[in-house]
Amino acid sequence: MSLDPALIPVLAGFALIAMGASRIGEFFARWRLPLITGFLLTGVLAGPSVLGLIPHDAPEHLRFLDQIAQAFIGLAAGGELYLKDLRGHLRSVAWTTAGQVVATLVLGTIGAYFLFAGIPVFANLPSTALLFVGALAGSILIARSPSSAIAIVRELRARGPFTQTALGVTVIIDAVVIVVFSTVAAMAGAALLGHAMGPGFLVSLVLDIVFSVLLGWLLGRLSALLLGSTMSQGATMAVILLLGWGVFHFAEPLHLWTATILPFSVGLEPLLVCLVAGMTVTNFTNQRQRFTAALDDMGPPVYVVFFTLTGASIDLGVLAGTWRIALALTGVRLVSIAIGSGLGGVLGGAPGRHNRLAWAAYITQAGVGLGLAKEVADEFPGWGMDFATILIAVIIINQIIGPPFLKWALRRVGEAHPPSPRPDFDGTQDVLILGLDNQAVALARRLMKHGWNVRLASRRAHRIADEEVAASDLDIRPLESLDLKCLQRLDISGAEAVVLLASDQENLQVAELLYEHVGTGTIVAHMHDRANAGRYRELGVLTADPTEAFTGLIDHMVRSPAASPLLLGEDSDQDLVEMEVRNPALHGVALQDVNLSLETLVLSVVRRGRQIVSHGFTRLEQGDHLLVMGDEKGLEDLRRIVEGDTAYRSET
């Protein structure tokens, strides 16, 4: 790649458009639409077909960005193929994968062959060539979206045999589709160029795949060494992505060079190389966690660039004339998925109910499918872009309709465990403390001083030995067991917060019930073993590790001793509290217009789980959580306003 000075303004302009695409993608996500839809739409609008902000030749100038993104997609797809997760479901996964690959390739090829015959750009192709074009489409229709499936499974906290099989099939298919596509693409290239496909061609094809796998293994080993070095995570991934880009950039020169010095040419399938590299790091090195974390960090900007650039390459004129074909291909794909998953499930011994619903778990498509479509556009310039436009439309449709179908299937089989909606606030701040030791009693009394209505519950409440506790005004209730019925008898649905002071096993058991059936806003737990931190985090539980808490408190005392009384609640003049904006009249109002007292300061705003450093121009939204510091009167006056007890009147 030469450093052309003319590339700098193109790159700068695209960077600005990509930043806008990121914000538009977030807007689409709020409406439960895929992020990539926003990225693609931004690319289409900014591209030469609409506004022309991205010049017609920009995608070619920025091809190196496209190749870097495709290298990332291959690495990410390989990184999701963790073989240990497939144990116990291998038979079902293998048969379902085979059924879907065969059914989608056969039916997709036949469907695309007849549908493409009516498109002018394909009309002059011989029947054999058109059949291979159909096979290219059929192979791309096989692709899935592991990242989307994993995100939905995590969102619903789904678990069970149906979920494990669906994830296993989705991940493996993205590896299989690259091999299938590589084979079909090589055969299509030979057929379209008029080359004979004899034994020599087949040997060359096998050698290309073997060479790609070996190079991928070497790249994976090198990536693991880099991940284990002292380099920062960002620098490490930048080097790995540059190596992946090198595979894409030098694949064609390598093919031409070997053809001149050897009796045969050496070809590479770059996506396969990167996929094998990701698999190698994940399964055969000790760098899996760091690799996964690096992919998670790098994913958002890479996907913005790739999908925005892909959107800019879409020809709206072609799309307007072929959208019916895209819909028809989507229908063909759905039918083939239903046939393949049903047949594979029967052969794999899956329950009948699972077989009837399995088709709904495999609809979503994304990165790998788009990467393969872009490869066709690059390899076959005569008709490749028209082909890619149709397949991109199919992928967008599947990406939109796929997630709702997967959620529906997981709920129907009873393996989804989504969070319960949060109960409405009844006007009283209630907290339930599960525990009855000295810490629980001390915590109860401190919360009562701050106006909380406190209840304590324990399985030993009926045999309290401490007469002082028993005779006090504490509301202590017996707890027969840690099941949902017993918790409901404690009126737990009315509690704004629950504090868990039992063992980690019991805390997690109760937290799971609260998450799925109650929807408690704040759950706090005493964590005994840091190995359970991930399980607590999945349930949205705030954890208190005594050792870490003590160390953190001493750290604050050393660095900011003046703030320590505030953190400990020992400052009688100032307090630090959190309150939720429930007053609808405050929606859209700037903080500077709320008329805070001089002794009250809003330190931060938490909106949809994201913390915002507040200033006077920050506009409030219903559901915001404010972290406020102030004196007792100022805090109480502000609480009445934000919670709707006192009518808010704007003076502007």
| The residue count for the chain | 652
3-state SS, residue 295: helix
**CATH 3.40.50.720 segments of the chain:** 430-544
- Residue 353: per-residue pLDDT: 83
Q: Which fold has domain 7-412?
A: Na+/H+ antiporter like fold (1.20.1530)
Using CA atoms, how far residue 484 sits from 273, 481, 536, 549, in Å, is 51, 9, 19, 31
- Please give the CATH architecture assigned to the domain spanning 430-544: 3-Layer(aba) Sandwich (3.40)
The residue with greater pLDDT, 248 or 267, is: 248
Strands across the sheet containing 610-613: 575-580, 625-630, 601-607, 610-613
Mean pLDDT check: name the lowest of 153-162, 449-458, 469-478, 488-497.
469-478
Average pLDDT, the chain: 81
Beta pairing class for 453-458 and 497-500: unpaired
Q: Is 211 exposed, middle or buried (0-12, 13-18, 19+ CB in 10 A)?
A: middle
pTM: 0.69
The residue with greater pLDDT, 552 or 123, is: 123
- Rounded distance, CA 633 to CA 522, Å? 25
Share of the chain above pLDDT 90, in %: 8
pLDDT grade for 651, boundaries at 50, 70 and 90: very low
**CATH 3.30.70.1450 segments of the chain:** 573-642
- Rounded distance, CA 597 to CA 71, Å? 55
Strands across the sheet containing 475-478: 475-478, 453-458, 430-434, 497-500, 522-526, 542-544
- What's CA 468's distance to the chain center, in Å? 52
Query: Which amino acid is it at 580?
Result: E
Is there a contact between 104 and 332 (Cβ–Cβ < 8 Å)? no
Is 573-642 a domain of CATH 3.50.50.60?
Answer: no
Q: Is 120 exposed, middle or buried (0-12, 13-18, 19+ CB in 10 A)?
A: exposed
- Rounded distance, CA 652 to CA 594, Å? 10
- Residue 32: per-residue pLDDT: 66
Highest mean pLDDT among 99-103, 157-161, 188-192: 99-103
Residue where the block lists tokens 């591209």: 47
- Indicate whether 473 pLDDT > 80: no
Q: What angle do CA 57, 60, 64 make, to 5 degrees?
A: 145
- Indicate whether 377 pLDDT > 90: no
Token pair listed for 199: 């034994």
Is there a contact between 256 and 246 (Cβ–Cβ < 8 Å)? no
Is there a contact between 226 and 238 (Cβ–Cβ < 8 Å)? no
- Residue 465: per-residue pLDDT: 46
